[in-house]
Structure 1
Amino acid sequence: MKHVLVIDESPLFREYLRIKLSDNGLEVSTAINVLDGISKVRTLTPDLIIMDFNLSKGRQDAFEILKEKKNNPNTTKIPVIIMSQRIDQKRIIELVPYNVKKVFTKPIKIDALFATLAELLEVQFEVDETPGIVEVHVNDDIVFIEIAQGLNRDKLDLLRFKIIELIELYQIRVPKVIVMLSDITLTFADGPNIQKLLDTVIQASRARHKNIRILTRDSFVKKFVQSQKEYADIEVVTNLQYALDGLLSELDRNMEFGEKKAEIIGDKVLSAEHSQMPEAMQLRFDAETKAKPLDMEEIQNIAANIRIAAVDDDFVIQELIRTTFEKAGAQVSVFSDGSEYLAALENETFDLVFLDLMMPNIDGFEVLQTLRYKDIRQPVIVLSAVTQRDTVIKAFQMGVKSYLVKPLKPDDILKKSMEILRTNF
């Protein structure tokens, strides 16, 4: 039996790979940091190492594992797959002497990962090739799950881990879920996949059935859900506003949320009824198994060397974003309007963009249009005022899924940023 060692700080990511590889007859061991990884390499002599390059910095970094492997004649030939949030060409060249066979930049495409694993391990993996796009985001304690084109079972497996990660990141006490199915037509043959989707959502979110809405215009989905007694309290609707109204009535009866209906249903929740989902699936895994506040060490590990653009004509907002992230080791560039930012893109790239919608000269909408026209794909967090309902909806129609409502708080900025930057798949 071939043996794979997975070295990654994310318990959910380790668990996903452990399950997936074990199901294909492989023995899997895991390590959580550099020291643990060195120990496992010495004692287990695996056939393959899958390793996150961005392990927590300290006295030792990820290169220490590779050096230990190379210097031991029993392990020097073990192939390695590296995953990294961001890695430059110089670093990739430095990896060559350590028998690194493949470097994946996150988010990783699962079909490409398993194709590489099949080649290196000479094991055939069953990968669902059904077209499907899955995206998950949180706005004000409501988990939005968007699925388009089809129900891909591998991506539904990933969905379970993403839901858990986001609920823990935002410490949601009473989960509410809206599942939005678009550009999708299902038949009786899809019944098992619909059941898998619903069971995944229920088990991962721990939401009460009455707090789950399915938004779809596909008639078969409604018939299927209504025919299953175990899903009796899950409502299938065709209108997002109606779905939100139902969840908000539950919020009114559960005052621990402490949020006003008008605040939630206005700019801060309405999203994505007609939005276009990106081609790549943006699923993220990096939460601890127990909810806890973000700590500076974790933030510094994720944000180190990340390039951030703050595009806002408000100097206070610029400085808030700058000070929040520079403490974590990120590089922050500020721009007072869209024209300055677009000019900078001629020579620079950014890992994350904070974009105000209302600015002089070129505003946020024109920036979004330009990015789409030039096919520049950079994660964007829209900044908006609470009362501007139409502008938020318009931003979502242009493909933006994440937003923050002014006035901004450092903790909210970090959580929304970590949701985007913590990306494995």
Structure 2
Amino acid sequence: MKEVLLIDGSHLFREFLKEKLAEEQVHLENATGNRDAYTKIITMLPSLIIIEANDSLNSDIMDLLEKKRNDPNARRKPVILIGPTIERSKAATLVEYGVVKYFTKPIRFDVFFEAIGSILRQSFSFDETPCILDIHINGNLIFVEIARGLNREKLFLIKYKISEIITLHKLVNPKVILMLTNLQLSFVDGANLELLFDNITADERLSKRNIKVLSLDDFVADLIEGHPQYHGIEVAHNLQHILNSLVDGSRSSGTNITDFVSDKILMSEKGTDDGGAEIRFGEQTKDTSASTGNLLKIAIVDDDVIVRKILQSTFSAISGDCSLYQNGTEFVKAIISGQKFDLIILDLYINDMDGLSILRTLQKHNVMTPVIIYSQATQREMIFQAMSLGAKDFIEKPKKPEEILRRAVKVLHSSAS
């Protein structure tokens, strides 16, 4: 059985990951702190290491990565790192420590498990049903809203999220409002509804009589009525009816309950840290690379299709997101339009525009992205001109992928310093 080591994982993330990996016959081992983590890394030699950094990439995490890199047996073990948003130049330097993916929160779990499956070389089953899940808290009321559809991955997460909220906020008498008004359900959704209510009721600290369901669908009420284990859960079509039974009566009798809910209950407490990985499945983000975990965005400019494919394969091994350009005109248009890269691999001999002209264009537009010349050019004068125009390194074709990667990491590291 393949083994994955999770280091400093929050409770929500750890339990969800453990359950999901178990479905795929993968064992998850947990480690807390550097000493425990390093011991398990060198004794287990897991197929994958996942590190969750809650606040920052602190010295402890970097020390652990450094120790791993210096161990001959552990250095090649891939690492997925989950952490705060950081500059791409800093993320790129993590490659030399074996970090193949860097995810920022909220994690896109579909992409996250796709990455794990790729590293472990096995496909993961994953429910791709479109689904929006929102969970927040006000006072002792946990508000859960599900829209668009019932995604089984998200339904599993609800159990851990509710338990974590109850523990974190030390709720004595927790109450839940489950909003399903955006869903049209039928008997084909029965299994997923059962999974939903099993996870909602999993924590014994939450009394079933304190679970209220708002749904316009009679099927929900019929399902709950037909399952004795859900006895006590109330289903209603009217929000005011639910709130009358949950909101404490200490309010002024003149207060409109709808206004009270809008102002006090349904407003998420943005400053509250519920801990753990946030819940995301497939939503788009402005920074695609952040959501997919890619460490590098690389432009490869070469008119030789074989060279382009070889370089793409080389950088894909370290999760590089490669954009391929068969001529200089296409690449220059991309740069002028505002396309950003972490690294540019450039041939000096291109059919429509020589590499020196491209370097001059980069200078003209104040593009500071490091450039590596990968070319058969051997004339000393041409190489000197390229370096004087800002190129960071020159690699003579052909070279083995390992050497190209080593030189690229060196350039990225020096550029980030």
Aligned residue for 1:148? Answer: 147
Deviations 1:318-342 (A, max 9, x none): xxxxxxxxxxxxxxxxxxxxxxxxx
Matches within 5 A, 1:4-403: 4-54=4-54, 60-204=59-203, 206-248=205-247, 251=248, 260=251, 265=257, 269-270=261-262, 285=276
Bigger CA radius of gyration: 2
Distance 2:274 2:23 in 1: 21
Distance 1:53 1:230 in 2: 39
Structure 1 residue 204: deviation in Å? 2.8
Q: 1:61 to 1:267 in 2, by over 3 A?
A: farther
Q: 1:145 to 1:54 in 2, by over 3 A?
A: closer
Distance 1:224 1:10 in 2: 34
Contact 2:7 2:50 in 1 (8 A): yes
Deviations 1:142-178 (A, max 9, x none): 1100000111111111111111111112211011110
Distance 2:54 2:256 in 1: 37
Distance 2:131 2:183 in 1: 9
Q: Tell me how many residue pairs correspond in the alignment.
A: 273
Distance 1:265 1:34 in 2: 51
SS at match of 1:164: helix
SS at match of 1:61: helix
Question: Which AA in structure 1 matches 2:225?
Answer: Q
Contact 2:9 2:51 in 1 (8 A): no
Contact 1:163 1:205 in 2 (8 A): no
Deviations 1:103-144 (A, max 9, x none): 111100111011001111012211111111111111121110
SS at match of 1:199: helix
In the superposition, the TM-score normalised over structure 2's length comes to: 0.60
In the superposition, the TM-score normalised over structure 1's length comes to: 0.59
Aligned residue for 2:2? Answer: 2
Aligned residue for 1:305? Answer: none
Consecutive unaligned residues of structure 2, counting only runs of 5 or more, are 268-272, 279-417
Structure 1 residue 217: deviation in Å? 1.1
Q: 1:158 to 1:3 in 2, by over 3 A?
A: same
Q: Which moved more, 1:71-80 or 1:16-25?
A: 16-25
Question: Which AA in structure 1 matches 2:213?
Answer: I
Q: 1:126 to 1:286 in 2, by over 3 A?
A: closer
Structure 1 residue 270: deviation in Å? 3.5
What is the Cα-based RMSD across aligned positions, in Å?
3.0
Distance 1:261 1:210 in 2: 25
